[in-house]
Amino acid sequence: MPKTKEIISILSKFTPCDVSDALVKYGSTNGGYLPNLVLRSKVASGVSSVVGPAYTVLYAPKSDPRPAVKQSYIDEIPEDSVLVIGLPLSCQKPNAPYVTVNNALYGGLMSTRAQYRGSNGSVVLGRIRDLDEHIELGHPVWSYGVGSTAPGPVVKVVGINVPLEVRVGDDESEIIGINPGDFIVGDKNGIVKLEVGDESKLEQILEYIPKRVDADTKVSEDIKKGKGASESQKLWRGKI
């Protein structure tokens, strides 16, 4: 099984779309896709995607009975990780703006610290602020929306490196879990989560991705020569 840095190196050559294709091949219906997240600042040149193990942070309303976490999550963010900030299901909505909290959960100072500590990017399942600062830093950040107000008046951090639940559809059962250490893959297409629990399956996925990309490259070449898409897909994908 490849180590974390090797997996990052492999996956950073491919897009979330490539990863989703592999996940669908191995049984996922949604391809691990976390919908509605928009890239607010550019991915670094030289890589196809931002990749890293999830470092999760859970915010909750101040009225939540859980105590606020005392340590600063941003000062402990690990190198090569992708920060993922979420809210409880009770604060999530199936339609825009997707959360009930209008205060931004993340800002420019957090990106400055995350970048200094070697984090690869940030995914905020809510609003962010200080857009120009993220762009200036060149630190990749995704979010549902933007805002102007800091989180302090309405929410508190209640968990660091804890499982997150993300509502991804109208049905209340449509939920994707993100566990600490799951691989996050992102670009302008959005964010995909790749579970790490099943090492055998993860290895199969890592082996399948480049083969599928190569097959689809050949399909594209055939189509440009006038061949039928369906026929070419059947031919090249059937050889994987």
The rounded distance, in Å, linking the Cα atoms of 150 and 199 is: 39
Q: Is 152 annotated as a binding residue?
A: no
Q: Is 1 annotated as a binding residue?
A: no
The rounded distance, in Å, linking the Cα atoms of 74 and 23 is: 31
The HSE-up count of residue 26 (CA atoms within 13 Å, CB side) is 20
Amino acid (1-letter code) at residue 148? S
> Locate tokens 């409880």: which residue?
88
The rounded distance, in Å, linking the Cα atoms of 53 and 180 is: 7
Whether residue 139 contacts residue 45, with contact meaning beta carbons closer than 8 Å, is answered with: no
Helix (H, G, I), strand (E, B) or coil at 96: coil
Q: Is 107 annotated as a binding residue?
A: yes
- Name the DSSP class of 150: -
Q: Is 222 annotated as a binding residue?
A: no
Q: Is 18 annotated as a binding residue?
A: no
Q: Which two tokens stand for residue 95?
A: 């339609």
Residue list for the binding site for substrate: 107-110, 129
Annotated binding site: 107-110, 129-130
Binding-site residues from annotation for Mg(2+): 130
